Structure 1
Amino acid sequence: MARAIPPAQPPPEELPRVLLWRWRRNPLRRRSDLAQAWIALCLFLAVLVITPAVTFLVGDVAFRDLKQTARHEAHTRHYTSAVLVHDAPRHPEPGSDEAKKTLYPAPVRYTDPRGHTRTADTDVEPGLPADATVHVWVTDEGHLTEPPLTPEQVRSRAMGYALLAAMTVPLIGAAAYGYAGRRLERRNLADWDTDWARTAPRWTTFT
C-alpha cells in the first residue's frame, strides 16, 4: 500500500531581528554585549568627528608639500630642444587615432644647462626622421626628466591623498571594532569554560 504523502508544511518563520538588541534589558544580555554596544557607539562618533578633520589636515599638508615640490621643480628643470639621433619607429597604422596617442622611446642629443652635449632616450612621436627637433625637460644635472607639476596636478594629487585619508579612518574604526569584538568573544568563552567547570560536577552521575 502506497504511503500517504504528508501535507505540505509552511516554511519556518524567521525570528524577527530586534534592533539595537544590545541596548535592551533582557535576561540573556551579557555585560560584554553592553560593552560591545558602547564600543560601537564610541567608535562611530569618533569616526564621524575625526574623518573630516583628518581629511582636511592630510589634504592641506599634501597640497602644501606638492606645491613646494612643484615650485622646486620649476626652478630646477629646464625646457630645451633636442635632436633625434636616428629615425623613430613607425606606427603600424599611420594616421590612426592610436598612432596620434602613441609614443616610442628614441635616442636624442641635447645640450645640458652646463653646456655639455648628452645623449639619452625619450618618448617621441612615431615616424619622426633623424635630426628632427623635439623638446625635452632637463634637470640641473643634465638628466632628462618629467615636466614640473602643474597646478591642476597639485590639486588632483592633494585631493587623492585627502580621499585616501577619508577612507582610511572608517577602515581603522571597523578594524578596531572587529578587534574589540574578538577580544570580548574570547573573554566570553573563557568565562563560559570557568562556569562550566564549576557546574559540570553537579551534572555528573557515577554508576
Structure 2
Amino acid sequence: MALWRMRTLRRNGLRRRTDVIRAWAGIVLLLVVPAVAPVAALLAGDAAMRHYEDTARHQRETRYQATATLTRDAPRHPEPGSEEEKETRYPVEVRFTTREGRTRTTRAEVRPGLPAGSKIRIWVGADGEATGPPMSREQIRSRGMGWGLLAAIGVALGGAAAHAATVLALHRRNLAAWDAAWAETAPRWTTPT
C-alpha cells in the first residue's frame, strides 16, 4: 500500500489531484497516529490515576471496618470443597454497631455455609451500609492503564475515521468530476448523425 502511494506521488498522465491528496493524507496519518497515541495514553492514564487516587483517598476517609454478626445462616454451596466455593459469596443479613453506637442491620457478602451468629468483618460506608473496601493500588493502576489503553485505541480509531472520511470526500469529488466531464462529452456521443 505504501508503494502504491509513492507511485501515486510521481508524475503520471492519469494521476489526479485527488490521488495526490489521498496519498499525502495516508502518509500524514501514518506518521501522526503512532506519535499521538502514546501521548494520549499517558495523559489519559495519568488523569485517570489521579482521579482514582482521589476517590480511594475519599473512600479511606469515609469507610471503616466493623464486626458484624450474621442474623441467619448463609446458604451452602452446591459443591462443598470446590474451588468455586472459595470464590463464591452470598448476600446475608448482618447486624453491626456503628461508630456512633447505633445497631444497624444490612446485607453483606459472606462465604457459603457460615452459621447464624458468626462474626465477620465488613466495611461500612458513610451511609451506614455495608460496602467494599477502599480501592487498592492495583485497582487504581489497572483502571488508569485501562483508560490509557482506551485513549490510544481512540486515537487509532480517530485516525482511521479521518482517513475514511478523506477517502469518501475525495471519491465523491471524483464522481462529481466524472459526471461533469460526461455531461460535456455525452452530447457528442449520443447526438444522432
More helix by share: 2
- Among residues 68, 71, 80, which one is paired with 1:82 in the alignment? 68
- Among residues 145, 155, 164, which one is paired with 1:169 in the alignment? 155
Q: Can you list the C-alpha shifts for 1:55-103, whole angstroms capped at 9, x where unaligned?
A: 1111111111111111111111101111101011011221222222211
* Contact 1:113/1:140, CA 8 A, preserved across alignment: no
Q: How many residues align?
A: 191
Pair 1:156 & 2:142 matched: yes
One-letter identity of the residue aligned with 2:134: P
**Aligned runs of 1:49-68 on 2, under 5 Å?**
49-68=35-54
**Aligned runs of 1:108-147 on 2, under 5 Å?**
108-147=94-133
For 2:184, the equivalent position in structure 1 comes to 198
Pair 1:100 & 2:86 matched: yes
Distance in 2 (alpha carbons) for counterparts of 1:116 and 1:141: 13
One-letter identity of the residue aligned with 1:159: M
Distance change in 2, residues 1:205/1:18 (3 Å): farther
Structure 2 residue ranges without an equivalent (≥5): none
Distance in 2 (alpha carbons) for counterparts of 1:115 and 1:23: 80
TM-score scaled by structure 2?
0.93
Distance in 1 (alpha carbons) for counterparts of 2:70 and 2:8: 73
Give percent identity, aligned residues only: 50
TM-score scaled by structure 1?
0.87
Pair 1:19 & 2:4 matched: yes
Pair 1:40 & 2:26 matched: yes
Greater RCO (CA < 8 Å, at least 6 residues apart)? 2
Distance in 1 (alpha carbons) for counterparts of 2:30 and 2:82: 54
Distance in 2 (alpha carbons) for counterparts of 1:60 and 1:187: 42
Pair member with larger Rg: 1
CA RMSD of aligned residues (A): 1.6
Alpha-carbon deviation of 1:118? 1.6
One-letter identity of the residue aligned with 1:100: K
- Among residues 14, 17, 32, which one is paired with 1:31 in the alignment? 17
Distance in 2 (alpha carbons) for counterparts of 1:75 and 1:85: 28
